[in-house]
Amino acid sequence: MSRSAVWHPFTQHAIEPVPPTIARTDGAYVETADGRRILDAISSWWVITHGHRHPRIMRAIREATETLDQVIFAGLNHEPAEQLASALVDMAPAGLDWVFYSDSGSTSVEVALKMALGFHRNNGAVRTRVAVMEHSYHGDTIGTMSVGARGVFNAAYEPLLFQVDTIPFPTAGREQEALDCFEQLAHQGEAAALIVEPLVLGAGGMLMYPAWVLAELKRIAERSGTLLIADEVMTGWGRTGTLFACEQAGIAPDILCTSKGLTGGSVPLAATLATDAIFRAHFSQDREKTFFHSSSYTANPIACAAALANVGIWRDEPVIEHVAALSRMQADKIGRFNNDPRFENVRMTGTIAALDLHVGNAGYLADVGPKLRTFFLERGLLVRPLGNVIYVLPPYCVTSAELDRLYDAIDEAGEFARGAP
């Protein structure tokens, strides 16, 4: 076969092996062209919720293609988008009354940032700063890189990024430091918004913090007139144990971003939900106050149909029971490493479990990371550690026996890492 022309994401082609070609997906598995079945332990980058190719979602996609393809969403409308928006407003925390569609997690966050700045500008307030949480990751577009942690992900693009105000990550026992820092920033009156990943910071290392901290951040934001943006791109659709992570803090953000599990992971779609106050700030006879944002594939009807089918699954099937069962299984399986000196910071929130491999050089570029990917793949497991951070984030259809095989491999990986050159 000739050399591939494909440039893969987050891949150093000079040193990494040629990736296997996937020919089929089913349930908790992806299957290679030569017939190897690989357990998808990371839900294909956190998007697959119920399992690959859920019949109800696949059927909805097929049926949608019989009547619609892409329709311009500026000046036109279609029923799948209307029905989905209504469903999202019903399911989301109270007060999020408006739905703006886009096509990825990054774009949903870009939309949120622009909404926040437009809200204050259109209301005559001079608020141009954005507060962020240390170690956060919100995407790979310029705006989302700006509000994410600065480092290897975005060092080459530093000249393009805007400046933000950073609060410390609320490490266990030091939560008040983060709250005090945000309170100080918020009451300076320049912060348009605080953006956070609720309860779990994903690409930053699966870092976890308690719901009461999120509730306090919302309280501070509210008192200071700062908008709270909840980036639920990864944490939404059951990952943290509830439909949205914000529910566990008993809060409603001013803006909520969702993607990944919105369609059950089947096709790309994103939505940014906002309060009526934010919509009204852009509702005017003055056309300069229009919300100027779009993408060519805004509210793709086929993607909206897939998302509607996903909503139906959540309404009609015992999804939250599946989530609870997976959370219990994760707690049981990962518990074996609590006092294991090869690992540290064993943790979990809902269906997400993680632990740090004890190595000399840690962090995202830890030498052990690529070696672990190969190690797991050779054992029929799709695991993509964040450097020395091993995490398990599987689809909700995974079985206890499949998790046993996965955690046995993690145990084996502890020994492998000790001997790895």
How many residues belong to the chain? 421
Q: Which residues contact 179 (CB under 8 A, 6 or more apart)?
A: 170, 213, 216, 217, 220
Q: What is the mean pLDDT of the chain?
A: 97
pLDDT of 1 above 70: no
- pLDDT (0 to 100) of residue 421: 56
Residue 244 and residue 86 in contact, taking contact as beta carbons nearer than 8 Å = no
The mean per-residue pLDDT over the stretch 145-173 comes to 96
pLDDT in tens, 198-256: 999 999 999 999 999 999 999 999 999 999 999 999 999 999 999 999 999 999 999 99
pLDDT in tens, 368-409: 999 999 999 999 999 999 999 999 999 999 999 999 999 999
Q: Other C-beta atoms within 10 Å of 167: how many?
A: 23
pLDDT in tens, 284-338: 999 999 999 999 999 999 999 999 999 999 999 999 999 999 999 999 999 999 9
Residue 228 and residue 188 in contact, taking contact as beta carbons nearer than 8 Å = no
Between the CA of residue 190 and those of 127, 346, 359, 407, what are the distances in Å? 5, 38, 42, 47
The mean per-residue pLDDT over the stretch 346-352 comes to 98
Q: Which range has the worst mean pLDDT, 56-65, 67-76, 246-255, 411-420?
A: 411-420
Could you give the domains of the chain?
Answer: 60-316 (3.40.640.10)
Sorting pLDDT into bands at 50, 70 and 90, what band is 418?
A: confident
The mean per-residue pLDDT over the stretch 83-101 comes to 98
- pLDDT (0 to 100) of residue 2: 67
CA-to-CA distance for 360 and 358, rounded, in angstroms?
Answer: 7
pLDDT of 21 above 70: yes
- pLDDT (0 to 100) of residue 3: 83
Nearest Cα to Cα of residue 52 among 65, 42, 62? 42
